[in-house]
A and B are shown apart, each in its own frame.
Chain A
Amino acid sequence: AQSVTQLDSQVPVFEEAPVELRCNYSSSVSVYLFWYVQYPNQGLQLLLKYLSGSTLVKGINGFEAEFNKSQTSFHLRKPSVHISDTAEYFCAVTPLGSYIPTFGRGTSLIVHP
């Protein structure tokens, strides 16, 4: 079985500052990795995903994530956040052989002016 740990339940940051949201996973097989964003009172939408190839993945809205196999991590980063980035962010993994993802518990990014 696989598991996903999002190490921070809440990350407060000032506008235009950089941010990193951490995600670690455990799995006995190879995995596909995803980050989803949930804006207030909305459903989740895909930010980016890692399938194979380059370990640095670029997504929408200036976000990027880096897959680190040795550390089993897939941290999400943005060099300069905006107020509009305030949202809940979910890391998810789908192991090879399955198609149903396991979601982390989410990290609430709060961007202050």
Chain B
Amino acid sequence: IAGITQAPTSQILAAGRRMTLRCTQDMRHNAMYWYRQDLGLGLRLIHYSNTAGTTGKGEVPDGYSVSRANTDDFPLTLASAVPSQTSVYFCASSEQAGVPYNEQFFGPGTRLTVL
């Protein structure tokens, strides 16, 4: 069982370029999330999705967009990357939306550097 896969593992990107980070889960979880992790700031939620076809904004959504066409995939797009988006990005999922005691399952992360 793979759980959550993310691609690419790492990427160096020129400022102004468009980039899509991929996330796929095989657990049939309804809820999915994108976080960024920055030193000293912990994890901050970018966007989330309760179920296929719905998305919501998290704490730091500006400059990012997501889509949820099906249960398994939850890509994160940077339309025009800026250096402040240099970070490690984690995709996560949980079994059901609306259930506060469900744990989250995390992917291995994508390390993105914007120059």
Question: Which residues of A does B touch, CB under 8 Å?
Answer: 9, 32, 34, 36, 41-46, 49, 51, 90, 94-101, 103-106
B106-A32 in contact (CB<8A)? no
CA distance A42 to B3 in the complex (A): 13
Give Cα distance in the complex from A44 to B96, angstroms.
19
Contact at A99–B31, with CB atoms within 8 Å? yes
CB contact under 8 A between A103 and B100, given known A43-B90, A43-B106: no
Q: Enumerate chain B residues within 8 angstroms of A9, measured Cβ to Cβ.
A: 40
Q: Is the interface of A mostly helix, strand, loop or mixed?
A: loop
Cβ-defined contact, B103 with A99, below 8 A: no
Among A32, A34, A44, A105, chain B packs the most CB atoms within 10 A around the CB of A44
B100 touches A44 (CB 8 A): no
* A99 contact from B40, B41, B92, B97, Cβ within 8 A: B97
Q: Which of A51, A96, A99, A106 has the most CB of B within 10 A?
A: A99
CA distance A76 to B4 in the complex (A): 27
Determine whether the beta carbon of A99 is less than 8 Å from that of B100.
yes
- Set A42, A51, A101: member contacting B104, Cβ < 8 A: A101
Residues of A contacting B43 with CB < 8 Å? Answer: 44, 90, 103, 106
User: What string of 1s and 0s marks CB contacts (under 8 Å) between B82-96 and chain A?
Assistant: 000000001010101
Interface string of B40-67 (1 = CB under 8 A from A): 1111010010000000001000000000
CA distance A49 to B94 in the complex (A): 14
Chain A residues closer than 8 Å to B99, beta-carbon distance: 99
Least CB distance, A105 to chain B, in whole angstroms: 4
Q: In the bound complex, what is the Cα–Cα distance between A101 and B100 (angstroms)? A: 8
Chain A residues whose CB sits within 8 angstroms of the CB of B94 once the complex forms: 99
25 sampled A-B residue pairs with Cβ under 8 A: A32-B100, A36-B106, A41-B109, A42-B109, A43-B90, A43-B92, A43-B109, A44-B104, A44-B106, A45-B105, A46-B103, A51-B101, A90-B43, A94-B100, A96-B100, A97-B100, A99-B31, A99-B96, A99-B97, A99-B102, A100-B45, A103-B42, A105-B40, A105-B42, A106-B43
Task: Report which of A34, A95, A100, A106 forms a contact with B48, defined as CB distance below 8 A.
Answer: A100
Known interface pairs A90-B43, A99-B94. Does A49 touch B33 (Cβ–Cβ under 8 Å)?
Answer: no
